Chain A
Amino acid sequence: DVKVTQSSRYLVKRTGEKVFLECVQDMDHENMFWYRQDPGLGLRLIYFSYDVKMKEKGDIPEGYSVSREKKERFSLILESASTNQTSMYLCASQGGTGELFFGEGSRLTVL
């Protein structure tokens, strides 16, 4: 079975802190994604990556950056966390027919 592991299930940070969310997949997938999920807004794509060192902006990239130094790892970075970035963050990797395999999510609270 494909496994997508997100480093932290729950985080509490203060405004202005730098936040790293890490995601690792074990199926050698090329495509990886970061979404955020908020009540009433559904899933929104932040960034995605089709290859190592490659990144593309999604629908809501402002305030975020990403890093993909190795194929299995895709990191989401909040350079200076703000309260409106309190959310559930979901990482996914993509299989051959286009289906996504998600991690368990990281619930971030910014105080």
Chain B
Amino acid sequence: SQQGEEDPQALSIQEGENATMNCSYKTSINNLQWYRQNSGRGLVHLILIRSNEREKHSGRLRVTLDTSKKSSSLLITASRAADTASYFCATRGYGGSQGNLIFGKGTKLSVKP
């Protein structure tokens, strides 16, 4: 029951550049969340955007949501080597089991010093 699909699957950039990752989904959502996972570790919640929001910022992170296109993007500005990780989008539907988060397969970001 996969919902979110991240694009690209892998991204390699130089330190200081911006990194953009995209997420597309299929059905109506209550909110969309982005998570980060360092290699071999658990996921860490980064940011949540509700279905009635279009843009949200947190530090160097900027998330947009376009419900008409069923897509979201995560922008990391002025990337650092420490941003190297996998990034996942997760969508949450409405009520009951639809309220469970469904994760995409992730974008693997590599930031080279």
Query: Which A residues lie at the B interface, using CB under 8 A?
Result: 4, 33, 35, 40-43, 45, 48, 56, 58-59, 90, 92, 97-105, 107
The A contact surface, by secondary structure, is strand
How far does the Cβ of B73 sit from chain A's closest Cβ, in whole Å?
19
**A56-B97, A105-B40 known; A100-B45 Cβ under 8 A:** yes
Q: Are B33 and A99 in contact (CB under 8 A)?
A: yes
How far does the Cβ of B65 sit from chain A's closest Cβ, in whole Å?
15
**A105-B41, A107-B40 known; A98-B33 Cβ under 8 A:** yes
Q: Are B43 and A90 in contact (CB under 8 A)?
A: yes
Q: Are A105 and B42 in contact (CB under 8 A)?
A: yes
A-B contact count (CB 8 A): 52
**A42-B106, A107-B40 known; A99-B2 Cβ under 8 A:** no
The 6 closest A-B pairs by CB, nearest first: A102-B42, A42-B105, A43-B103, A99-B45, A102-B43, A104-B42
Query: Which B residues lie at the A interface, using CB under 8 A?
Result: 1-2, 30-31, 33, 35, 40-45, 48, 88, 90, 92, 97, 99-106
Q: Which residues of B sit under 8 angstroms from A99, Cβ to Cβ?
A: 33, 45, 48
**A56-B97, A59-B1, A98-B33 known; A41-B44 Cβ under 8 A:** no
Q: Which residues of A sit under 8 angstroms from B102, Cβ to Cβ?
A: 45
**A40-B105, A98-B48 known; A48-B42 Cβ under 8 A:** no
Name the residue of chain B whose CB is nearest to the CB of A56.
B97
Name the residue of chain A whose CB is nearest to the CB of B6.
A42
Q: Are A100 and B43 in contact (CB under 8 A)?
A: yes
Q: Which residues of A sit under 8 angstroms from B92, Cβ to Cβ?
A: 98
Q: Which residues of B sit under 8 angstroms from A35, Cβ to Cβ?
A: 103
How far does the Cβ of B6 sit from chain A's closest Cβ, in whole Å?
9
Q: Which residues of B sit under 8 angstroms from A103, Cβ to Cβ?
A: 42
